[in-house]
Amino acid sequence: MFLTAQDTFYVGVNDHEIDLFEGIYKVPNGVAYNSYVIVDDKIAIMDAVDEEFGDIWIENIKKVLGGRKPDYIVVQHMEPDHSANTLRFVKEFPGAKIVGNNKTFVMLGEYFGTDFADCREVVTDGSVLSLGKHELHFVFAPMVHWPEVMVTYDAFTKTVFSADGFGKFGALDVEEPWEEEARRYYYGIVGKYGKQVEAALKKLSALEIENIYPLHGPALEDDIGHYLGLYSKWASYSPECEGVMIAYSSVYGHTAKAVQLLKNELKAQGCKNVLVHDLIRDDRSVCVADAFTYPVLVLATTTYNADIFPAMREFIDCLTERNYQKRTLAFIENGTWAPVAAKLMQAKFEKSVNITFAQTAVKIRSALSAESETAVKNLAKELTGKNHD
Ligand code: FEO
């Protein structure tokens, strides 16, 4: 436990046992489930932690409070990594009230089989809960990342408790740069909901913010404008840098050779920033986050079972279900017989908005030929013509 903003104590936990966050995302440096205590005339606990850390969390709360008892637990988000100990909390601290909105209490009922009738404090968007000096303003942020999500602004410390927003993979006792794992977290967890994130950011823009305390990752207490700026960029699906990302899968190495040729040609044409991902071997969530980082994406793969090679098909699904948009796309396909991958890849983006498809088609029949090499070189010229860096 440690003091963060005035009267505000960290009581969360680090999870180094977890291998897959949400059953999907590799978290080699674990993850933190953040929870805070605000001590005033009344005492509020901001969120709980994952089920298996209940003992440590309750112990942390008791150490901060000495003999005092909490008055409230604010449930900003019902995903179980933050709410699984809610029932345990009210049993441990009878008399404390659960602060949530109507949707929160529906979900609490589903998870715990009770409506918590004797301890519910229902708030609405814009409600204020006074603890004394600290006044908690509730700002609904639906779909960042579930429908019941609300964030809380403590007007006394100018702190936003931001729920999943501004979260990051990685436990707090591991030092690593914020951006990379926060970006992977963002696009993995809330990337689909850019509009809703923008709406939440708009609401927050009316507030004077000195601290942002997310449910995962470190408390953000300096250079808040930097984090708000990045989130604004991510929410609007804007690229973060110039350059080209090439994502590929290759069965016998011939598609990989075409990718290497394209990389070399792009560099020769003056593109300084070329990132290549092997979709079979590289972490999927890293590939997805990087695809949103670059303005141009080249997809290179083979036809397989009269369809797109599975790793590529799944990668494209990850992009389109996250509303991939505002990008230039190019395709390289390879097939010994009946190649259809390029056509099928393009079709998968038919509902995506603001996508520019490159004019140059690269079709490889089995291995690079003089003709397909020329096509690769032409593609490099086309892409650098559009995208000088
Ligand atoms: Fe960490 Fe959407 O929960």
Q: Model confidence over 305-351: pLDDT tens digits?
A: 999 999 999 999 999 999 999 999 999 999 999 999 999 999 999 99
3-class secondary-structure state, position 97 = strand
User: What is the number of other CB atoms lying within 10 angstroms of the CB of residue 82?
Assistant: 24
The pLDDT of residue 184 is 98
Q: Is 373 left (phi over 0), alpha (psi -120 to 50) or beta?
A: alpha
Which atom from ligand 1 is nearest to the alpha carbon of 190? Answer: 2
Residue 287: which residues within 8 A CB-CB, separation 6 or more?
A: 247, 277, 279, 315
pLDDT score at 14: 98
Cα dihedral 39→43→46→47 (10° resolution): 140
Rounded percentage of the chain residues whose pLDDT exceeds 70: 99
Whether residue 389 has pLDDT greater than 70: no
Closest residue by Cα to residue 376 from 222, 254, 210: 254
Rounded to whole angstroms, how far apart are CA atoms 375 and 371? 6
Q: How would you class 133 by CB atoms within 10 Å of its CB: exposed for 0-12, middle for 13-18, buried for 19 or more?
A: middle
Task: Please state the rounded mean pLDDT for residues 96-114.
Answer: 98
- Report whether pLDDT(29) > 50: yes
Instruction: In whole angstroms, give the CA distance from residue 89 to residue 116.
Output: 12
Atom of ligand 1 nearest to the CA of 149: 2
Cα of 49 from ligand 1 centre, angstroms:
10
> Nearest residue CA, atom 3 of ligand 1?
79
The CA angle 161-166-169, to the nearest 5 degrees, is 115
Split at pLDDT 50, 70, 90, the class of 361 is: very high
Dist. CA 145 → ligand 1 center (Å): 7
How far does the centroid of ligand 1 lie from the alpha carbon of residue 277, in Å? 27
Q: How far apart are CA 292 and CA 315, in angstroms?
A: 12
The per-residue pLDDT for 53 is 98
Residue 388 pLDDT class (50, 70, 90 cuts): very low
The mean per-residue pLDDT over the stretch 348-367 comes to 97
Q: Which atom of ligand 1 is nearest to the CA of 215?
A: 1
Nearest-atom index, ligand 1, CA of 145:
2
Angle subtended by helix axes 341-348 and 310-320, to nearest 10: 20
At 290, the pLDDT band (50, 70, 90 cuts) reads: very high
- Residue pLDDT, tens place only, 258-281: 999 999 999 999 999 999 999 999
What's the pTM?
Answer: 0.95
Cα of 337 from ligand 1 centre, angstroms: 46
Cα(255) to centroid of ligand 1, in Å?
A: 38
Give the atom of ligand 1 at the shortest distance from the alpha carbon of 189.
2
CA distance 39 to 157: 12
Banded pLDDT at 387 (limits 50, 70, 90): very low
Task: Please give the residue that has the higher pLDDT: either 174 or 386.
Answer: 174
Considering the chain, what is the average pLDDT of its residues? 97
Q: How far is the CA of 63 from the centre of ligand 1 (A)?
A: 26
Residues within a 6 A CB radius of ligand 1: 77, 79, 81-82, 145, 164, 215-216
- CA end-to-end span of the chain: 46
